[in-house]
Structure 1
Amino acid sequence: MSSSSQSLSDPSVLACVLAGGQSRRMGGGDKTLLDMGGNSMLGLILDRLRPQVTEVILNANGDPARFANFGLPVVADPIDGHQGPLAGILAGLLHARETVPSATHVISIAGDTPFFPRDLIARLSKHLPSTTPVIALACSRKRLHPVFGLWPVTLADDLQAWLKAGESGKVLAWVDRHDSIEVDFDDDEETGLDPFFNANRPEDLDTARAALSKAGAQQPFGSDTPA
């Protein structure tokens, strides 16, 4: 990956949608499969993600057949014990190294955050050096969102050793071992929400659905008609 601005659909980045959480605050189940106005949470995420990359995988545990309709490779956590987002990030890094030779980085996407920026990867990668492994993390409204990160594939072994040694599963605890940058993002223009708004609880899901419905109602008539 060069340090210059990059176009969308970046072949050097593998996207890993993190759906391995237990969704306790939502009452269990797969948040990514919840209905969002006729689409699913995962469907909305893929609508924003697929134009930015050429390779997408889903990190999830359990029976992968429940995601069959999306046509994505489903990769389970490589470390036992529900060690959180870092285990999913490691799954993405190992998959990239083993099966996607062109990938130098993995972008992690939370599976309950449907309004993330449409230029996320280009913005995160813009200032990264070409020779030094640096982690890029997203920020908004003066808050850091470490689950939305751009991770060098060369850090896979270090992360794997960290988790196998029983170190903290908190993302920033491991990030602090490495060089990193933070990139700030404005509110989502379509919904007016924080672009990293995540649906953790039923009331959050109601907020997301209402914002999506309002955004759809504000689209000019015929805006989706091909030229």
Structure 2
Amino acid sequence: MPTSNQILGVILAGGRSRRFGGGDKGFADLGGQTILARVIAQFRPQVGRLILNINGDPGRFAEYGLVTVSDDENPELGPLSGLLAVMDWAVQHAPDCTAIATVSADVPFLPNDVVARLDADRANGVAIATSGDRRHPTIAIWPMSTRPTIAEALNARALSVDKLAAKLKAVAVAFPMRDIRDAKVDPFFNINTPDDLSTARALFAGPTEG
């Protein structure tokens, strides 16, 4: 089983944030920090190296001090495009990498044991996170050996990450709800809309209990 140094962490920040109203929703303020800064803080200690997958001008991410990888070759094709771009980058720049751990850029309640738990259960294959009755295929570990299947899916414009995970016989790893301010909160609650941001801000207004 790979060590954490063999797992490259990637935050998928290349979305267009259409439901949020456009722009970079990861830059929205959440309790005095940006959403993206909170995701970075939770995810960085879990992997040997952390990078960002983005679209557009990389300069707007400069303050975070992370390498950025763009999926310009397959723009507008969603997370699989970003994953393929990152795998191709890793071949050149992280040759010891055997797997990619992905999270989306809008999950501020990300648990601090996501990578360890996914890696422990995946038997060197793909593992995705679940919570409640929801699957979260962008919260996952993808072996580098899956690159040909990912490229094939992109070429066929079969862009569903969940369907690809199923095709690859991904192991589903269940995570419990988090206790925050007397509320049960999905650990992978993602901020898609302004209303979601308001909900997250209310949760961050008080101490986190679990």
What TM-score bracket applies, with the shorter chain setting the length? over 0.9
Determine the C-alpha separation between the residues in 2 that align with 1:152 and 1:146.
Answer: 14
Stretches of structure 2 that go unaligned for 5 or more consecutive residues are: none
Q: What amino acid maps onto 2:30 in structure 1?
A: M
When the two structures are superposed, what TM-score results if normalisation uses the length of structure 1? 0.85
Q: Which deviates the most, 37-46 or 169-178?
A: 169-178
Do structure 1's residue 71 and structure 2's residue 65 form an aligned pair? yes
Stretches of structure 1 that go unaligned for 5 or more consecutive residues are: 220-227
Do structure 1's residue 182 and structure 2's residue 176 form an aligned pair? no
Q: Which has the larger Rg?
A: 1
Tell me the alpha carbon deviations over residues 54-80 of structure 1, each in whole angstroms, 9 at most, x when there is no partner.
Answer: 211111110000000001111111532
Query: Displacement of 1:85 after TM fit?
Result: 1.2
Do structure 1's residue 215 and structure 2's residue 201 form an aligned pair? no
Determine if contact 1:138/1:145 at 8 Å carries over to the other structure: yes
Determine if contact 2:10/2:102 at 8 Å carries over to the other structure: yes
- Overall identity of the aligned pairs, in %: 38
Aligned with 2:186 (options 184, 189, 194): 194
Determine if contact 2:55/2:72 at 8 Å carries over to the other structure: no
Do structure 1's residue 112 and structure 2's residue 102 form an aligned pair? no
Structure 1 segments (4+ residues) deviating >6 Å = none
Do structure 1's residue 92 and structure 2's residue 86 form an aligned pair? yes
1:13-32 matches, within 5 Å, as 13-32=7-26
Q: What amino acid maps onto 2:143 in structure 1?
A: P
Tell me the alpha carbon deviations over residues 111-131 of structure 1, each in whole angstroms, 9 at most, x when there is no partner.
Answer: 11111111000000112325x
Determine if contact 2:77/2:159 at 8 Å carries over to the other structure: yes
Determine the C-alpha separation between the residues in 2 that align with 1:159 and 1:140.
Answer: 25
How many residues are matched? Answer: 208
Look up the match of 2:146.
155
Look up the match of 2:40.
46
Determine the C-alpha separation between the residues in 2 that align with 1:186 and 1:162.
Answer: 31
Determine the C-alpha separation between the residues in 2 that align with 1:194 and 1:121.
Answer: 17
Determine the C-alpha separation between the residues in 1 that align with 2:85 and 2:106.
Answer: 18
Determine if contact 2:122/2:170 at 8 Å carries over to the other structure: no
Look up the match of 1:103.
97
3-state DSSP class of the match of 1:214? coil
